[in-house]
Amino acid sequence: MKYIHMVHFKDDELEVAAATTVEEVKELVSDGFEKSDEIHGIHIFRKPKRFAGYS
């Protein structure tokens, strides 16, 4: 964890999800997603893809 800032993710190395209800937002946040944007009332979330072999 000390050197995690040195890892640079490309745009294609992100998982993306959308939410329209409070329940969906809560679920995504609890799964580790961060809010990226909001378009016409739809909240867009993203998180880095997990490394292969790690959970």
pTM above 0.85, yes or no: no
Residue 17 lies in a domain: yes
pLDDT digits (tens, 9 = 90+) for 5-38: 556 656 568 899 999 999 999 999 999 999 999 9
Give a yes or no: residue 55 inside a domain. no
In a domain, 53, yes or no: no
Nearest to 35 by CA among 23, 22, 44: 44
Q: Is residue 39 part of a domain?
A: yes
Q: Decide if 54 is inside a domain.
A: no
Question: How many folded domains does the chain comprise?
Answer: 1
- Tell me the residue range of the domain where 39 lies: 4-48
40 pLDDT more than 60:
yes
Q: Supply the pLDDT for residue 26.
A: 96
